[in-house]
C-alpha cells in the first residue's frame, strides 16, 4: 500500500445510508425508532439520507401530493436535526444511477428470492388489483440505493431486515462472479429503539397507515390533537402506573414517556405512585408536545423557505451523484458494457 491508500483507509469514516419514503406523515414511532437517531450518527459516520420517491410509486400516488410530500419529508429530516453540512440529503429520482444499477442487480437476483419477501406478500395481498413489477423488484432498487454508496451501515427497522439480507446476497453474488466491487452492508438497529405501539390496540405497532387516527400520533400533530389522542389511549382497569406484560397500554405510554424524558421505568413508577392514569396521560402528552415543538417550528420555517430547501436538495443530489457514478462505472465495466 502506498502512503495515500494507507491514509484513506485509516481516515475514511464508515458510511451510513438510509432511505425514507415520502408517503404519509411520520409517526411518533418513526421518530423514536428511526428519525431521532439519525442526527446522532452524523459526527461518527459519513451519512447519506435519501427521500426515496421511486420506491413510493409501487403503489399509486397522486402526482401533486407526491411532489409536495417529497419536499415535506426532506424538510422534516432537516428539522429533526440532520445537518446538510455534515450529511448528504437528496431525492432518489434526482440521481439516475439508482435506476441504472437496479437493472444490473436485478440480473443477479433469483426470482424466487423476490417472491418470498414478506413485504411483497403483504402488499400484494393488500393491493390485489395492482400487483405490479415494481412491487416485486422493490428490494432490488433498495439494494442499489445501499450498494451504490459502498455503505457500511444501514439504519433500518426490523421490518426491513429481510430486504437488507437480499442486498447482501446480491452483493456477494456480484463480488463472487467478478471481483470485490461492493462493500458488505450491515444493519444498524438502534439499541434504544423502544418500539412504539398503537394507542388504541397496544399489542400492535403504531402504523403510518392506521385508519384509526386516534391510534397514531404524528410528528406534525398539533398540541391539542396530541393531548386528545393520549387522553383516549387504551389502558386497563388497575389504575396503577407500572410496566407489565398484561398492561400493554400503560407499558407503551411508559416507554414513550421514558424516551421523551430519559427516565427509567422505575423512575416513572416512582413519580406516578398513587396518581391516576389521567395525570399520567397528561404528563406523557406534554412530554411529547415539548419534544416535537422545536421540530415543528423548524419544519414550518423550512417549508416557508422553498428556495433554501431546494438548494439543499440540489447540492445533495450533486454530491450523491458523484459518489454513485463511481460505483456504477465500475459495475458497467465489469459486466462488459462497451465504454466509448
Under the rule (CB under 6 A), what is the footprint of ligand TRP?
A: 17-19, 21, 52, 55, 142, 145-146, 154, 156, 160, 163
Distance CA 225, CA 283 (A): 15
From the candidates 13, 14, 86, 123, give the one annotated as an active-site residue: 123
Residues 6+ apart with CB under 8 A from 121: none
Nearest residue to the partner ligand TRP, using Cβ: 19
Distance CA 47, CA 83 (A): 10
Minimum CB separation of residue 24 from ligand TRP in Å reads 11
Q: Considering the complex, state which of residue 251 and residue 327 has its C-beta at the smaller distance from ligand TRP.
A: 327
**Which phi and psi (to 5°) does residue 227 adopt?**
-60, -45
Question: Which residue, chain included where needed, has cell 491514509?
Answer: 7
Distance CA 148, CA 98 (A): 7
Q: Is 123 labeled as catalytic in the residue annotation?
A: yes
Minimum CB separation of residue 75 from ligand TRP in Å reads 18
Task: Give exposure, 210-238, as e/b (b: 16+ Cβ within 10 Å).
Answer: beeebbbbbbebeeebbbebbeebbbeee
Distance CA 115, CA 148 (A): 24
Q: Considering the complex, state which of residue 49 and residue 272 has its C-beta at the smaller distance from ligand TRP.
A: 49
Cα 157–Cα 322–Cα 152 angle in degrees, nearest 5: 35
Minimum CB separation of residue 269 from ligand TRP in Å reads 34
Cα 43–Cα 35–Cα 25 angle in degrees, nearest 5: 150
Q: Considering the complex, state which of residue 166 and residue 312 has its C-beta at the smaller distance from ligand TRP.
A: 166
Q: Considering the complex, state which of residue 21 and residue 255 has its C-beta at the smaller distance from ligand TRP.
A: 21
Minimum CB separation of residue 144 from ligand TRP in Å reads 9
Minimum CB separation of residue 167 from ligand TRP in Å reads 8
From the candidates 14, 161, 208, 330, give the one annotated as an active-site residue: 208
Question: Looking at the chain, how many residues does it have?
Answer: 340
Q: Considering the complex, state which of residue 146 and residue 324 has its C-beta at the smaller distance from ligand TRP.
A: 146
Q: What is the SS3 assignment for 246?
A: coil
Q: Which three cell numbers stand for residue 89?
A: 440529503
Minimum CB separation of residue 132 from ligand TRP in Å reads 16
Q: Considering the complex, state which of residue 119 and residue 261 has its C-beta at the smaller distance from ligand TRP.
A: 119
Number of Cβ within 10 Å of residue 94's Cβ equals 18
Residues serving a catalytic function are 123, 205, 208
Amino acid at each position: 500500500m502506498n502512503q495515500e491508500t494507507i491514509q484513506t483507509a485509516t481516515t475514511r469514516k464508515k458510511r451510513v445510508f438510509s432511505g425514507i419514503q415520502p408517503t404519509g406523515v411520520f409517526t411518533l414511532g418513526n421518530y423514536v425508532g428511526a428519525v431521532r437517531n439519525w442526527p446522532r450518527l452524523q459526527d461518527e459516520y459519513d451519512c447519506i439520507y435519501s427521500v426515496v420517491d421511486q420506491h413510493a410509486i409501487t403503489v399509486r400516488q397522486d402526482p401533486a401530493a407526491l411532489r409536495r410530500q417529497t419536499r415535506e419529508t426532506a424538510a422534516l429530516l432537516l428539522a429533526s436535526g440532520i445537518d446538510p453540512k455534515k450529511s448528504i440529503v437528496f431525492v432518489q429520482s434526482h440521481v439516475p444511477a439508482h435506476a441504472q444499477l437496479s437493472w444490473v442487480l436485478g440480473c443477479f437476483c433469483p426470482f424466487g428470492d423476490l417472491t418470498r419477501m414478506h413485504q411483497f406478500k403483504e402488499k400484494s395481498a393488500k393491493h390485489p388489483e395492482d400487483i405490479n413489477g415494481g412491487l416485486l423488484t422493490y428490494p432490488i432498487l433498495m439494494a442499489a440505493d445501499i450498494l451504490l454508496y459502498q455503505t457500511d451501515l444501514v439504519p433500518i427497522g426490523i421490518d426491513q431486515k429481510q430486504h437488507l439480507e437480499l442486498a447482501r446476497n446480491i452483493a456477494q453474488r456480484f463480488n463472487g462472479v467478478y471481483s470485490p466491487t461492493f462493500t458488505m452492508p450491515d444493519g444498524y438497529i438502534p439499541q434504544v429503539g423502544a418500539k412504539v405501539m398503537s394507542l388504541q390496540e397496544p399489542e400492535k405497532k403504531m402504523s403510518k397507515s392506521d385508519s384509526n387516527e386516534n391510534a397514531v400520533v404524528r410528528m406534525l400533530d398539533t398540541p391539542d390533537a396530541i393531548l386528545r389522542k393520549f387522553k383516549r389511549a387504551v389502558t386497563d382497569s388497575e389504575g396503577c402506573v407500572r410496566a407489565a406484560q398484561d398492561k400493554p397500554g400503560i407499558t407503551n405510554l411508559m416507554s414513550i414517556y421514558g424516551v421523551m424524558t430519559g427516565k427509567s421505568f422505575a423512575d416513572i413508577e416512582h413519580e406516578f405512585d398513587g396518581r391516576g392514569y389521567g395525570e399520567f396521560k397528561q404528563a406523557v402528552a406534554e412530554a411529547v408536545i415539548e419534544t416535537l415543538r422545536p421540530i415543528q417550528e423548524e419544519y414550518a420555517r423550512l417549508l416557508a423557505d422553498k428556495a433554501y430547501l431546494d438548494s439543499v436538495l440540489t447540492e445533495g443530489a450533486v454530491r450523491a451523484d458523484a459518489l454513485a457514478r463511481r460505483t456504477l462505472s465500475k459495475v458497467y465495466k465489469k459486466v462488459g458494457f462497451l465504454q466509448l
